[in-house]
Structure 1
């Protein structure tokens, strides 16, 4: 294993095992921006115990919140808009294996989450999905394909259950002390 690869793996280890457990948004965001190369907007918060699969490839817009214990598989790019609320224990995957490949080839396909999206606790979003503006992903949903703007989806696999209002103007800027 090359020295560069060892350093990269160590940086990721420090991020997931040490930095994510420090109860300071300011300190964690500093590390995420400067060491991991994440593009994190103003007034964003990534709460404690979140884990990442690589450095870079993470873009988060202004006022968005990633609650605790989320797994962000950012081997393919994860782009999160403004005023997005990602609830606890959400999993966003960007990498998988090609089921049609004889050699079990891996692949990375980015995920895009537009502004004003709300993702419920323990939802899972699979590689290649786009979640449209204002959509709501219910707790525990398994999102396997694109979600149309302003829809509410639930279930496994996620299906549209109703529409959400389109005049959303809220701020999701949210920080808890020691989170």
Structure 2
């Protein structure tokens, strides 16, 4: 049903009606459901009502904003911490054991500033296994963060990041290598988050 609505919303006759109900539908998650202090409730609603693909032992924390959640796939043992924004409009793929820390924003759609009509451009974002995205970082459309990479807090990532490195800054650049021996599995839950 959600994919059908997404396809017909570009039809001029349905556009305004579908947009209204789509935003209304999504507003329940972004303003009500995401604030319920229960992982089980939020995970259930995100998966079964909004079509988010959420792997085993993965968690959506309190206050996470979702855009087009039916186009977001999150693997196993992932952690999406408080006040993050996940944009699925251009497809967002998060592999296994990924830690998306406090306040991270991941966008898959942006405006083309050179377009006469200010059209939008959608580009898929992929986060591979064992990636860590530091607090308040910004991942821009079309970026792939390769396996084991760490993005330092407050970074802006406009281009791909290679595997097992630590990148930081605006724009993010590689600062150092990361240990390739990763043995942990994420399963981070705080009461009432």
TM-score category (smaller protein): over 0.9
| Residues 89, 108 of structure 2: 8 Å contact kept | yes
The equivalent of 2:98 in structure 1 is 84
1:74 matched to 2:85:
no
* Aligned residue in 2 for 1:154: 168
In 1, Cα distance between the equivalents of 2:147 and 2:191? 29
Structure 2 residue 38 is the aligned partner of structure 1 residue 17: no
Deviations 1:38-95 (A, max 9, x none): 0000010010001012241111010100000001121111111111111100000111
TM normalised by structure 1 equals 0.96
Equivalent of 2:52 in 20, 38, 44: 38
Q: Corresponding residue for 1:101?
A: 115
**Distance in 2 between residues matched to 1:110 and 1:175, nearest whole Å:** 28
| Separation (CA, whole Å) in 2 of partners of 1:83 and 1:169 | 10
- 1:135 deviates by 0.1
Alpha-carbon distance in structure 2 between the residues aligned to 1:126 and 1:105: 17
> Gapped runs of 5+ residues in structure 1?
none
1:167 counterpart residue number? 181
**Aligned mates of 2:71, 2:121 — CA distance in 1:** 15
In structure 2, C-alpha distance between the alignment counterparts of 1:138 and 1:116, rounded to whole Å: 14
Aligned to 2:21: 7
List runs of 5+ in structure 2 lacking aligned partners.
1-15
**Runs of 4 or more above 6 Å deviation:** none
RMSD value, Cα:
1.0
